[in-house]
Each structure stands twice: as structure tokens, then as C-alpha cells.
Structure 1
């Protein structure tokens, strides 16, 4: 993804964003394929450099990961459209303002390790459940569930963060856009306001 200097998020900001947004698209290129395999999935950020998740055994991503264990996990959102008239330079014709979309996105380049042993899969499931649904029953008591899935451990090799909120524009323009977002109150506007503040 294109990351301008004014949009770039450092690792700390990017990891904080991931902690609040643990759903993304896992992308495996495999080898010699016409298209990569893209799988929407919940994941668990274990620490700054480790991600755990599980997927069903019939998932088409497994052969692609076996061919090439380098994968990309992409997380994006929330987003909001910013009309051009809001971004027009002060004193300029509003119809000449350039529209844009505000959003956050973090991409993680990872090395994937497929987890097939029951204890390894249980460790991943227990950790995910403890994070998302504390107090849920022990997955060890659900043998059909355990047999029907495989686990993944992703070792993060590179973090690419982008926080596109007009960081290169002057404070006056950003304040005008913030006022318009607050008045509109649409999906994604509140998140954008937090970034503009």
C-alpha cells in the first residue's frame, strides 16, 4: 500500500490499532497461482510480533501456505468519505476541493506456521476464547471442533501502518473537516474525529 510520510504509523501506533481491530484478511500467495487466496478471519494478537488464529480444515488457504509460508495479514477500517467541498482550500471554489477517504490500515508481513497437533490447536483455541469469550467451555471437550480445524501461528516480520487523516494539511482545514464530520455523524465519522483530534 502507498504510505506517505504524513500517513505513516509507527509500530507502537499500529500495534495499538491491531489490539482494537482483531479481524482482517489473511492473504497467501502460494507459488505459481493466478490469484492469491484471501480469507477473512478473526485473530489474536499475542504480542507485538505474534498472531494466533484457527481456520477450518477445508479452507483453501492451507495448500497456498504450504507452498509459501510468507503471508500478509491486512486490517483496515473504519473508513469515512470526505467530500471535496470540505477540503477546498480557504477562499477557493468549494467545487474544486479534492475528495478523499479517511481510514486506518495495518498490514503485517508474516511467516506462517501451520499447527496440526491437538495440544497446539488447543493452546490457540483457549487463548482466542479467553480473549473473546472468557468463561466459555474448554474446547478439549469438543473433539469434533478440534478435529475440524488447524491452527496458525504467524511470526510478524514487518509492520506497515497507514493512518490517512490529512496529516499534511494545515490545522484550519483539519478543523473544518472535523466540524463537518461531527455534524454529519455517519458511520466511521467518530473514529475519524478521534484521529483528527
Structure 2
């Protein structure tokens, strides 16, 4: 992922705050023997307090073909993309130029976590991992205890494998026209508010937030 200086995260707290509310992504694993990469959509829970760059926990069904690929190459990437929208060319036309001379582009936020994957098969360790996920997705505690041999989930444990992703590096990008003149960026924010298509409110919020951060 190319990250120009004007699209880079302002600091670690920017991408960490964003990732805290984005817990669905794609796990990318090298395919064995020159095959294309495996790309697995999944929910996950990210804990920034574990390790130097944080840790991710998730689980997948035992028959998933991704396990052989992880065993062959445990270096994986978890990719999360959201808050995207399309910016028509006329919105970015230089001052005094015909509107059709503007260049269309995409706005989006993206975080890529490079990780070392650790497969969890021990029943007690899998149960503990599932509790960490449940604590993230159902913090109210409205779920049964996960324990080997205990109802209702104990009988399901053999059918899954846990996955702990040790994050070794983070690449974060907030592509919201940071290289454009400030007046143009504010005009684009106004147009996003008027269009109000799916993705526009979040993209506008990012653009205004990053403008305010550079103002200060």
C-alpha cells in the first residue's frame, strides 16, 4: 500500500482510535507453492496493550483451507478498509480550470497489520481466546461460558481453531485529499454533506478532523 506523506496517520492514536471501531477485515496469507494468496474475511478483536504493536485474536472453522497456508508461511497481513467514497473529477478541478479537467479519486481509511500467526488448538486456550472475542463483541456479558465439554459451546470447540496474531508492524493510511489546497478540501467537505451518499458522512468527518488537526 502506497502511503504519501499527506495520507499518513497523524500519530498512532489516529489509527488506533479508528481500528477500535472497525473489527471486520480480510486476513491475507501467502498461498503455498506459488498459488494466489488466501484472503479470508473475518471478525477480530484487537488489543493494543499486548506486545509492541498490539495483538489480534480470532478463530476459523477447522476445515478452512487457510490453515495449511498459515503453517507454511505464518507471516500474514490483516487488512481493514472502510469510510470510503468516490470523489468526482469536477470537485477537484483547479481554480479557473474547466470542471471536466478535475481528476477523480477515492477517499478511504485503511490499516494493515503485519503479523506472525500462532494457531491455537488446546481446548482451554481456545476457550480463553473466545472469551476475549466475546468480551469485545458482547461486552454486556450476555453469553454463556465457553469451556471444554460444557454446554452450549463445549461440543463446538473441536470444530474450530483459534488464531492469535502477533502484530509486528502497522501501516495506516487516511486518504482524504491532504495534498489539495485547504479551500478545495473544505469545498469538497461541503459537497460530501450535500450529496450524503453511503460513506460520505464518515469521509467528510475524516477530512474535517484532519483539517482541524493541521490548523492546530
TM over 0.5, shorter chain: yes
SS in 2 for 1:6: helix
1:147 to 154, 158, 161: 158
Query: Which residue of structure 2 lines up, in the alignment, with residue 91 of structure 1?
Result: 96
Name the structure, 1 or 2, with higher relative contact order (CA <8 Å, separation 6+).
1
Unpaired runs of at least 5, structure 1: none
Distance 1:38 1:68 in 2: 14
Query: Which residue of structure 1 lines up, in the alignment, with residue 135 of structure 2?
Result: 130
Query: Which residue of structure 2 lines up, in the alignment, with residue 110 of structure 1?
Result: 115
Where do 1:47-86 residues align within 5 Å? 47=48, 48-86=53-91
- 1:147 Cα deviation after fit: 1.3
Unpaired runs of at least 5, structure 2: 209-216
Instruction: Determine if contact 1:110/1:156 at 8 Å carries over to the other structure.
Output: yes
Q: Which moved more, 1:29-38 or 1:40-49?
A: 29-38
- 1:155 Cα deviation after fit: 0.6
Query: Which residue of structure 2 lines up, in the alignment, with residue 196 of structure 1?
Result: 207
Q: Give TM-score scaled by structure 2 length.
A: 0.88
Q: How many residues align?
A: 197
Query: Which residue of structure 1 lines up, in the alignment, with residue 42 of structure 2?
Result: 41
> Once the two structures are superposed, what CA deviation does each residue of 1:64-120 show, in whole Å capped at 9, x if it has no partner?
000011000000012100100111112210001000110000101100000000111
- 1:144 Cα deviation after fit: 2.5
Taking only aligned residues, the RMSD between alpha carbons, in angstroms, comes to 1.1
Q: Give TM-score scaled by structure 1 length.
A: 0.96
- 1:49 Cα deviation after fit: 1.3
- 1:11 Cα deviation after fit: 2.9
Query: Which residue of structure 2 lines up, in the alignment, with residue 21 of structure 1?
Result: 22
- 1:30 Cα deviation after fit: 4.3
> Once the two structures are superposed, what CA deviation does each residue of 1:44-72 show, in whole Å capped at 9, x if it has no partner?
00224111001110111100000011000
Query: Which residue of structure 1 lines up, in the alignment, with residue 5 of structure 2?
Result: 5
Between Structure 1 and Structure 2, the one with more strand by share is 1
Where do 1:150-189 residues align within 5 Å? 150-189=161-200
